[in-house]
Amino acid sequence: MVLNGKKVLVTGADGFIGSHLVERLLEEGCNIRTFCFYNSFNTWGWLDTLSKEKLELLEIFTGDIRDPNGVRKAMQDIDVIFHLAALIAIPFSYHSPDSYIDTNVKGTLNIIQAAKDYGVEKVLVTSTSEVYGTAQYVPIDELHPRQPQSPYSASKIGADCIAESFYNSFDLPITIVRPFNTYGPRQSSRAVIPTIITQLLKGKEEIKLGDTIPTRDLLFVNDTVEAFVEIAKSDKLIGQDCNIATESEISIGDLANEIIKLINPKAKIIQDSERLRPANSEVFRLFGSAKKIKSLTNWSPKYTIEQGLKETIEWFRNPENIKNYKTDIYNI
């Protein structure tokens, strides 16, 4: 598929990955409608930080992914859908699981039902490496068993399954895109890298973390959105799920120490019990296979962890960026 000139809908466009994807799709020459979460402040999340020139190229739609009426209105005249809207914080899913089912499962159903009715050319549904749970083998490929170790991961497994069912039942041209752990500018402090960076840049010398043993396969956000674009272009991935991974891993402890070296080598890590997941819910190892995406698209990661961390830290050093982060509050 050629994306240039296509009418594209990006849900979750106001979020971390979504806002970066919007910028990348502008470079691709797409006509973009962004689906942003409605709020009475009339804010568009991270899209508010884009230049006036970029914003003038976007059609902004505000609504709620849980509402099928608004979704259907947003989907009119759309050729390609990048569905990223979701609740993603794992700790918040422990005490508010209903909202994850409504947003992640029902929201996905709303999108794909409208896509079927309107004859959309291609739908990319965003999954997560959390659906795999702790690795039973590495690298984790797309055949790895799904393990719902949190209400969040269960909701994303449900969303994946309903999407797969629409391909099998109605031949809807769906691809399930499964990024491993994405990081970079604009990420919220509910994720570990912004948590570490913002504490250090605010002058703290005791960095509060949860378990430092788990490993993660870390993707810089520019690599992640480039993968979305390449997956959308590939007709070979219709009806399939596809990892985005670097085929490497680093422990949270080693990651924290790398960031500490770059900002304040005197800082120490302390464990905060509030940030620990229940033992059976913690995903201890994520190390993904990128064999499928590399064989069926032109994608491969361009950023090393060192390059990605340096760019992320520099973004957070900007006072206008870090002022919105509350380092004294644990963001679940």
Residue 96 domain flag: yes
Res 327: pLDDT: 83
Residue 316 lies in a domain: no
54: containing domain = 7-183+220-244
Query: Is 166 a domain residue?
Result: yes
Residue ranges in the chain modelled with pLDDT below 70:
none
Count of domains in the chain?
1
- Give the sign of the dihedral formed by CA 157, CA 163, CA 169, CA 173: negative
Q: Which two tokens stand for residue 240?
A: 């399939």
The answer to whether position 240 is within a domain reads: yes
What distances in angstroms separate CA 206 from CA 115, 196, 203, 209, 284, one per listed residue? 49, 10, 9, 10, 24
Q: Specify which residues 207 forms β-bridges with.
A: 269
Where b means 16+ CB within 10 Å and e means fewer, 245-265 reads: bbbbbbbbeebbbebbeebbe
* 113-148 pLDDT tens trace: 999 999 999 999 999 999 999 999 999 999 999 999
Neighbours of 17 (CB within 10 A): 25
Pull the structure tokens for residue 112. Answer: 């794909």
CATH number at residue 177: 3.40.50.720
Are 112 and 118 in contact, with CB atoms under 8 Å apart?
Answer: no
C-alpha to C-alpha distance for 166 and 233, rounded to whole angstroms: 20
- Per the CB < 8 A criterion, the answer to whether 247 and 290 are in contact is yes
- pLDDT at site 141: 98
Q: Given this model, what pLDDT does residue 80 score?
A: 98
**Does residue 125 sit within a domain?**
yes
Q: Where are the beta strands (DSSP E) in the chain?
A: 7-11, 31-37, 58-63, 80-83, 122-126, 174-179, 181-183, 206-209, 215-216, 218-220, 241-244, 250-251, 268-271
Would residue 289 count as lying in a domain? no
